[in-house]
Amino acid sequence: MRLENKTALITGAAGGIGLAAVKRFLQEGANVMMADMDEERLAAVAKELATDKVAYMAVDVSDEQQVKSLASSTVETFGGINVFVANAGIEGKMGEIIDSDVDNLMKVLDVNVKGVWLGLRYVIPAMKDAGGGSIVITSSGAGVKGAAGMVPYNTSKHAVIGMMRCAALECTKYNIRVNTVNPGPIETRMMDSIAEGLVPGSANDFRNQLEAITPMGRYGKVDEVANLMLFLASDESSYCTGSVYMVDGGNAT
Ligand code: NAI
């Protein structure tokens, strides 16, 4: 029980990776507050999990008031926040800069960058009150490498690494660790959507090509990301802060 007596707040909890983390953290004894924009899916998941160790809140992570009340509701519901997984994200539209519009860029940055910052802004004070904790930000393989046609997403995932490094330095004095998890291609709705956006109509060919250049020769599974999140969330990673953790089948090597 690596998260016994701990409360985790997870955003993007109704999606592929977020939900895998919710389930993994519950197995290890945590209370979990699930946050996502998709209220219907959150309600269905909460019903399926059927435990009072889980609660949910429909939140747009790019809305300051909503994130502020998410942090305070989590404290009211479970008594504090020990783990924060800033995982909600969108891929936006794919396309070269010269074919793209600025609205798409700003929308992706709003959710993927401002959304993470707002989470840090309102969760860190609660974690300080709890005597410390661990923050895991979901960046991406796209946060350490360029990719043609993916400027907004790629830029946002690079940005949160910088944010993580600064936050880690600010937070050691509060006994709070901050790291990023950087998944490579993982079997989720998002990966299919990115493939379709880059090469319309040939998502399967795209997957075959990407798997062929991935040293481990396959897409990853959501549980493989959740296991790394669990390690960083737990006290097993007590000397880890300010770092980028790849879970990508060797893709970035
Ligand atoms: P997903 O699309 O299954 O899950 C994303 C979740 O975020 C969805 O449930 C969605 O409703 C929620 N969300 C989107 N905008 C939101 C907002 N403004 N406020 C609150 N919730 C919002 O995708 P997946 O794959 O589970 O993605 C999770 C994270 O992992 C994202 O940050 C993504 O960029 C990152 N990632 C995913 C990879 C993949 O291959 N699937 C690879 C690398 C990173």
Cα of 160 from ligand 1 centre, angstroms: 14
Q: Which of 153, 174, 239, 245 is catalytic?
A: 153
Cα 114–Cα 21–Cα 120 angle in degrees, nearest 5: 25
Residues with CB under 6 A from ligand 1: 11-12, 14-18, 36-38, 59-62, 87-90, 111, 115, 138, 140, 183, 185-186, 188-191
Which pLDDT tens digit goes with each residue over 44-79?
999 999 999 999 999 999 999 999 999 999 999 999
Which pLDDT tens digit goes with each residue over 14-23?
999 999 999 9
In this predicted structure, what is the pLDDT of residue 192? Answer: 87
Q: Is 174 a catalytic residue?
A: no
In this predicted structure, what is the pLDDT of residue 110? Answer: 98
Cα of 154 from ligand 1 centre, angstroms: 14
Dist. CA 18–CA 24, nearest whole Å: 10
Residue nearest to atom 2 of ligand 1 (CA): 190
CA nearest neighbour of 11 among 110, 89, 92, 127:
89
Domains of the chain, earliest start first: 7-185+222-247 (3.40.50.720)
Which pLDDT tens digit goes with each residue over 188-210?
989 888 888 988 887 788 889 99
Whether ipTM > 0.90 holds is: yes
In this predicted structure, what is the pLDDT of residue 12? Answer: 98
What backbone torsions phi and psi does residue 63 show, to the nearest 5 degrees?
Answer: -105, 115
Cα of 91 from ligand 1 centre, angstroms: 8
Which pLDDT tens digit goes with each residue over 89-147?
999 999 999 999 999 999 999 999 999 999 999 999 999 999 999 999 999 999 999 99
List 84's β-bridge partners, or say none.
9, 135
CA distances from 46 to 78, 143, 156 (A): 16, 31, 30
Return the CA Rg of the chain: 17
Which pLDDT tens digit goes with each residue over 196-245?
898 888 778 888 999 999 999 999 999 999 999 999 999 999 999 999 99
